[in-house]
Structure 1
C-alpha cells in the first residue's frame, strides 16, 4: 500500500532557555493508505500534539512532515474528530455537519447531499433537525464523526473520541467505527490511552511514552476479526503494558 503521510525525526519544544520544555523527540510515523493505526500512551505524553503536528497546526522544532495527499475540489486532505464533539449549540445536527463544508466552494445542493450521506453513514438521518442538547453523548460523537466524514478526507484523525463515554456506548461506537472503516476505506489514525481499545480497532499500534515523549515500540495486532476474548489479545495487551512500565508509565485497561 502507498504511504500517504510520514513523520520523520519529529521534535517539538516550547519556550526558550531555562523555560524550554521538550514535548516530543525523534518520533517517526508512517501511514499507509487504507490502514488503521492507533497511538497509545499515557495522558500528557504528547499524543494529541502529534496529531496537530501532522495537520500542520503546530510546527515541529525538528524533523519533517510529509503528506502525500492530492488537493481536490470540495475535499479536505485530513479531518480531526475530538474527544468532545465540539458541536455548535446554535446549529441543528444538519447544520453542524455542514459547518466543515463551508468555504469549500460547494453549491447548496452539494452540501445538502454531503450532509445527508454523512448522517446516513452514522445512522443519524432521522435526527438531522435536532439540537445538540437533545442528543445523547454517543449521538453527539456520531455527529462529530459525520462532520469529519462530510469533507471526504483521505486521512481521518481521531483524538480519544470515545474516552468520555460509558463502556457500553464506547463498545457500540467502536464496532460502528470498524464497520464504517471497512465501507469507506479511509485511512485512520486513532489516539487513545486505552490499550484494549487500540488492540480491538487497529492493525498497528505505536506506543509513545517518556518525557520528552518518544516512540517506545510498534506492535502488529492479530488478524481480523479482533476478538476481546482471544488469548492473543491478552498477550499483546500484556506486552504493551510491560513496554510502558519499562518507561515508568502505567495505564489502566480492561479486557
Structure 2
C-alpha cells in the first residue's frame, strides 16, 4: 500500500504530512502544514520533478531508468552520473568535483578523484558486506546491525568516527556524527548528499518518502506497487539491487 499520512515528533512537536497518489501508485503531492510539494513523472514512470513552490528539484534518466542528471535549487548540488554496460555507477560529478568508482562484481572497492588520485578503498567480501575502508593510509571499520545498516565507523583503537541512528525507512535521526568521509549508511547502500537519495544500484531511493523514484524493473516481483520499498517492511528486509529480488535480500530468523 501507499503511505497516506505521517506524524513525526522530533521532540519539539509533531509534524503531520499527508500524501496523494494517482492510479499508477505515483506520489503526486505531499502536504506539510501550508506547503504543498508536487511530483511529476516521465513516460517510463520515473520521477522527473519535485516542486514545493520555492525549490525545484529535477531528475533525468537513461534508457535503463538510471539517474544521469540532478538539478537542485541554485547550483550547489547539480550533479551527473555515468554507468557501465552492467548498470554499475562508475563516475559522479557534483559541481565539478569528480569521483570514479571501481568495482569487484557489484561492490565498490575503490574511489578516485578527478585527478586519478586514490581516495578510499573498501573490503567487502559479499554483497554490501562492508568490513572496512582505508583512507590516507588509515583503516577504519564498519559496524552494521542485522539489516546491514551501518551504525558506526570506528578506527583501529575503537574510537567512533561516524555514528548513525535510523528511522524504519532509512531517514537518519538528528545530525549524524561524521568525522570521516564515507558513503555507506542505510542497509549499507551509498548515500548521495547532493540529492538526499540512496543509490540502490538499479534505482534511487527516497528515504524521506520511503519509496523508490522509479518503477521496479522486474515488475510485480515485490507486490503490485512498483514504487514500494520491500513491501513496506523495512525492519525485516533490505533490497541491495533495487529490483526487489527477494532471494537476495531476505534476512532469515532462527526458529525455536
Q: Which has the higher strand share?
A: 2
TM-score where L is the length of structure 1? 0.31
TM-score where L is the length of structure 2? 0.30
Higher relative contact order (CA 8 A, sep 6+): 1
